[in-house]
Amino acid sequence: MRYIELAVSVALVLSVSACSSNSSSNPPTTITEVPVTNPELPVNDPDGPVTTPEMPDPDMAVFPPVYVTPDGVEQCSVDDIKRRVDFDMRDYYIYYDQVPILNLDDYEDASLLIEDLRVAPDTFSSVGDFGTQSALFNEGETAGHGFWFQPAGDGVVRFRYIRYGSPADDAGLIRGDELLSLNGIDLSEVTNDNIRTALDPDNSPVVMSVRTGEEDPRTVSVAYETYRWTTAGPANGFLPTDPNSGLPRVGYLPVRSFLATTKDELDSAFRVFRAEGGIDELIVDLRYNGGGRTSVARYLASVVGGAVVANQVAYTNAWNDKYSRFNDTEYFDEVEQPLDLARVFVLTSDRTASSSEIFINSLEPYIDVVLIGETTFGKPFTSNTRNYCEKAITAMRSVRLNAVGVSVAGGMAADCAAQDDWQVPSESSRDPMVSATLRFLTDGSCDAPGTMIADMQRSSFGPTGPSFEPEDPSRFVSED
C-alpha cells in the first residue's frame, strides 16, 4: 500500500452575499427605439453593464430592447408576460429570425410558451421565478429536502446525492445510504404517487427508514426548508504513504454549481490544499454541475491554469446579427495564488453542462484536460436572465467558443469512460470515476469502471425502482 488515508478536519467558509397558428387576435407588440443612457442590466451580471457604444448606429437595434405593454393589456398580467417573452425571443434571442409565429392565447403561461418558441438545438430558454433564481445565484439560497435517490449499480435504491447544507445533510444522510421505507411504506410497495405525496412541501417533513452499510436501520426525518447550499468542497485528496515513491499528491475538489457564493468556497478549498503541502494533480468533480455564473467558472479555471492562462483568451461570445457589435472576448483572471497545473482531471456526466463545460473548454487550448466519466450535456449558449414582473426570462443570447474557436455543442466525450455508481461516497477510491482517474495516474490506462486501486486510498484534507431527482434551479443557466 503506497497511499495512506489521513483525516484532517476542514471548515468551509460560506460567503454571505449572495401546432403553429397565426396570432392576429393579439394586439401588436410595440417596439420603441430610444438612446440607451441607463440600460436595464442583465440579472446576476457580476462584471457590470452590457457595454453600449458611445454613439450607437441608429440603424442598429437597441439593447436592451425596450418593451412597451400594448394598450388594452394589463401590465404584469399573464397576457403581458407572454407578450414580453414573445418580444424577447424575436429580438436578442440567438435564433430570433427562426422563432415560430404562435397564438399566445393558446398558452396558459409564459413558461409553456417559451418552450414552443425555442428553436433547435436550444432546449434551455426558460421562464421561472425571479426571486427564487436571484436568491440562488446571489446568496446560494434554495429550498427543498436536499436529496436524490435512485437504484444504484447493485439494484438497491440508495441516495445518489445529498446537497451540502441541506436538511438532508443536517439529518446525517450520506451518498450510498439505502432507502428502506418512505413515510411508513416499505420501499417494495412505494408508488410514484406515494413519492410525490411524501415529498410535497405541504406534507413536510418526510420520514424515512435508511441504512448505512451494514449498520442497523435508523429513522430519519427531513423537512422541506430554505437553506444555504454549499456548492464547492470540502477539499479531499489521495496522498502517497511513501513521500519518496514518486507518486503525485492528488487533490479532489467537488464543485456542484457556480454561484456567487461558490468563489469563497473554492478559496477555502485552495487554502486547505496549500496548508497540506500542496498538490501535484487535481480532480475536479463536475458530474452533477449543471452551470451557473460563467465568471466563477472562469475564476476556477484561472486558478487551475495559473500563469499559463493569465490574461489569455478564455472564450468569445457571438450574438445574433442584430447585436453583433456586442460580440466580445473574455479573458482569464490573473490570480494571486494559482495552482499552476499542467493537467487537470474532470469527472463528467450528461449532467455536466453550461458553465461547467465552459471551465473545461476554455482550458483545453492551454493545458491537458482529461475527462473521466461520460459525455457532457453539450450546451453552447449563454444568457443573461432578465427580470420582468418578477419573472426570470432566460433566452439564449449568444454562442460561446473557446480561444481556438471550439464549441461544446454535442457534448465533450470522456477520455476515459466510467459510469457513476452511488454505492460508495464520491470521494472514495472505490467510486468508479475516481478509480478510473487514479488508474490513469498510476499507469496511463483507462481502466474498467469499478476497479479497486490497491495503492491509493482517500485522504481527507479537511436499473429500476423508486427514484426521485429534485429540480436543480441552476442547471443549464449560464450567467455572465
Q: Say if residue 224 is exposed, middle or buried (CB neighbours under 10 Å; 0-12, 13-18, 19+).
A: middle
- Cα distances from 165 to residues 155, 161, 249, 259, in angstroms, run 28, 12, 28, 15
Using CA atoms, how far apart are residues 186 and 208, in angstroms rounded to an integer?
Answer: 10
- Cα distances from 356 to residues 16, 299, 346, 361, 441, in angstroms, run 23, 12, 10, 9, 23
The answer to whether residue 380 scores a pLDDT higher than 50 is yes
* CB of 337 closer than 8 Å to CB of 275: no
Q: What value does the mean pLDDT take over residues 315-341?
A: 96
* CB of 392 closer than 8 Å to CB of 423: no
Strand partners, 313: 331
Q: Are residues 200 and 241 in the same domain?
A: no
Asked, for residue 418, whether it belongs to a domain, the answer is yes
Residue-level pLDDT at 443: 84
Residue-level pLDDT at 282: 97
Asked, for residue 14, whether it belongs to a domain, the answer is no
Using CA atoms, how far apart are residues 167 and 177, in angstroms rounded to an integer?
Answer: 15
Q: Are residues 208 and 271 in the same domain?
A: no
Examine the fold and report which residue of 130, 152, 181 is the final residue of a domain before the chain moves on: 130
Q: Are residues 112 and 81 in the same domain?
A: yes
Dihedral sign for Cα atoms in the order 389, 394, 395, 401: positive
Examine the fold and report which residue of 175, 198, 228 is the final residue of a domain before the chain moves on: 228
The answer to whether residue 394 scores a pLDDT higher than 90 is yes
Q: Are residues 214 and 239 in the same domain?
A: no
Q: Are residues 123 and 248 in the same domain?
A: no
The answer to whether residue 455 scores a pLDDT higher than 80 is no
Residue-level pLDDT at 146: 96
Q: Are residues 161 and 112 in the same domain?
A: no
The answer to whether residue 24 scores a pLDDT higher than 50 is no
Q: Say if residue 471 is exposed, middle or buried (CB neighbours under 10 Å; 0-12, 13-18, 19+).
A: exposed
The answer to whether residue 77 scores a pLDDT higher than 50 is yes
CATH number for position 288? 3.90.226.10
Residue-level pLDDT at 445: 87
The answer to whether residue 166 scores a pLDDT higher than 60 is yes
Average pLDDT of the chain, as a whole number: 83
Backbone dihedral region for residue 415 (phi beyond 0: left; psi -120 to 50: alpha; all else: beta): alpha
Residue-level pLDDT at 7: 30
The answer to whether residue 305 scores a pLDDT higher than 90 is yes
* CB of 80 closer than 8 Å to CB of 367: no
Q: Are residues 359 and 370 in the same domain?
A: yes
Q: Say if residue 26 is exposed, middle or buried (CB neighbours under 10 Å; 0-12, 13-18, 19+).
A: middle
Q: Are residues 328 and 354 in the same domain?
A: yes
The rounded percent of the chain whose pLDDT value lies above 70 is 80
Q: Which residue has the cell 457589435?
A: 325
Q: Are residues 170 and 260 in the same domain?
A: no
Domain extent, residue 117, equals: 30-130
- Interior CA angle at 167 toward 162 and 171, to 5°? 85
Q: Are residues 326 and 442 in the same domain?
A: yes
User: Phi, psi (5° rounding) for residue 345?
Assistant: -100, 135
Interval 40-62: pLDDT, tens = 222 333 333 222 222 333 344 56
> Per the confidence metrics, is the pTM higher than 0.95?
no
The answer to whether residue 459 scores a pLDDT higher than 60 is no
CATH number for position 157? 2.30.42.10
Using 50, 70 and 90 to split pLDDT, how confident is the model at 63?
confident
Asked, for residue 18, whether it belongs to a domain, the answer is no
Examine the fold and report which residue of 78, 104, 130 is the final residue of a domain before the chain moves on: 130
Interval 232-264: pLDDT, tens = 999 999 887 777 878 899 999 999 999 999 999
Residue-level pLDDT at 61: 57
Asked, for residue 21, whether it belongs to a domain, the answer is no
* CB of 279 closer than 8 Å to CB of 249: yes
Asked, for residue 473, whether it belongs to a domain, the answer is yes
Asked, for residue 103, whether it belongs to a domain, the answer is yes
Using 50, 70 and 90 to split pLDDT, how confident is the model at 479?
low
From 338-342, 388-392, 465-469, the region with the lowest mean pLDDT: 465-469
* CB of 391 closer than 8 Å to CB of 400: no
467 versus 45: the higher-pLDDT residue is 467
Domain count, the chain: 3
Q: Are strands 368-373 and 416-417 parallel, antiparallel or unpaired?
A: parallel
Asked, for residue 24, whether it belongs to a domain, the answer is no
Asked, for residue 214, whether it belongs to a domain, the answer is yes
3-state SS assignment for residue 250: strand
Q: Are residues 177 and 112 in the same domain?
A: no
User: Phi, psi (5° rounding) for residue 286?
Assistant: -115, 20
Using 50, 70 and 90 to split pLDDT, how confident is the model at 123?
very high
Q: Are residues 240 and 285 in the same domain?
A: yes
Residue-level pLDDT at 429: 86
